[in-house]
């Protein structure tokens, strides 16, 4: 139960500065903030080791409590090297952003903004579907017999289309052709 306030105070200062920096638009400063946070965390882990002690190089005459705690040290060593890798990766990102967009700023995500502006009306869900009373609209198109004349074609965009093709021309969201007006064997 030993609490080194010097280490913790320095840690607190590093956390405060790091947080201040990562709440910034400049990508470089965010990275610097992250590095400060990593340093602060290393100090926190170091503080868990208690009092300063001997370097943990085994000597059979030294009791274990005299060493500085080796476990936090191993954890910090891992943390240092990982932070290095992350920093290098972030540097790559910063450079790439600069090359692509010529800026070192974190932009607001336009895609997120767009989601908020999604209209309540969705054609797929909300558009009105006219009543369909046949799977074989407009004409008799079964292969069991010849297509009766006079009902087999509809005008679509100024050109005649075979009735059985007309249904498949419908695009998602577009209004279906109303079968009852055009044909249907009347």
By CB under 8 A, what part of segment 63-102 binds another protein?
64-65, 67-74, 76-78, 80-89, 91-96, 98-100, 102
Smaller CB distance to another protein: residue 99 or 159? 99
Tell me the longest C-alpha to C-alpha distance in the chain: 109
- Residue 181 interacting with another protein (CB under 8 A): no
- Within 10 angstroms of residue 91's Cβ, the number of other Cβ atoms is 13
Distance of closest approach, residue 43 Cβ to another protein, in angstroms: 7
Torsion of Cα atoms, 68 then 72 then 78 then 83, to 10°: -100
Distance of closest approach, residue 173 Cβ to another protein, in angstroms: 7
- Residue 153 interacting with another protein (CB under 8 A): no
- Candidate residues 155, 156, 160, 170; the one interacting with another protein per rule CB under 8 A: 170
Among all chains, which residue has been given the structure tokens 């069991």?
144
- Residue 134 interacting with another protein (CB under 8 A): yes
Element spanning 35, H or E: helix 27-47
- Residue 156 interacting with another protein (CB under 8 A): no
Q: Is 50 left (phi over 0), alpha (psi -120 to 50) or beta?
A: left
Of 50, 31, 51, 38, residue with least CA distance to 11:
38
Distance of closest approach, residue 6 Cβ to another protein, in angstroms: 5
- Residue 182 interacting with another protein (CB under 8 A): no
Contacts of 167 (CB under 8 A, 6+ apart): 137, 138, 176, 177
Show the site string, 24-53: x = touches another protein by CB under 8 A, - = not: xxx-xx--x--xx--xx-xxx-xxxxxxxx
- Residue 109 interacting with another protein (CB under 8 A): yes
């Amino acid at each position: 139960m030993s609490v080194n306030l010097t280490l913790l105070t320095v840690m607190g200062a590093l956390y405060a500065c790091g947080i201040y920096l990562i709440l910034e638009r400049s990508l470089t400063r965010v990275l610097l903030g992250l590095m400060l946070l990593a340093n602060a965390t290393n100090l926190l882990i170091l503080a868990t080791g208690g009092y300063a002690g001997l370097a943990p190089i085994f000597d059979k005459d030294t009791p274990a409590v005299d060493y500085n705690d080796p476990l936090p040290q191993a954890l910090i060593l891992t943390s240092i090297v990982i932070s290095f890798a992350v920093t290098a990766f972030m540097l790559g990102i910063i450079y790439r952003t600069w090359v692509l967009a010529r800026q070192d700023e974190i932009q607001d995500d336009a895609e997120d903004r767009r989601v908020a502006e999604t209209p309540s009306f969705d054609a797929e869900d909300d558009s009105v579907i006219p009543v369909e009373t046949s799977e074989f609209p407009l004409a008799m198109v079964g292969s069991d017999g010849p297509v009766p004349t006079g009902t087999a074609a509809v005008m679509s965009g100024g050109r005649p289309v075979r009735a059985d093709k007309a249904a498949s021309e419908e695009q998602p969201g577009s209004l279906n052709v109303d079968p009852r007006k055009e044909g249907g064997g009347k």
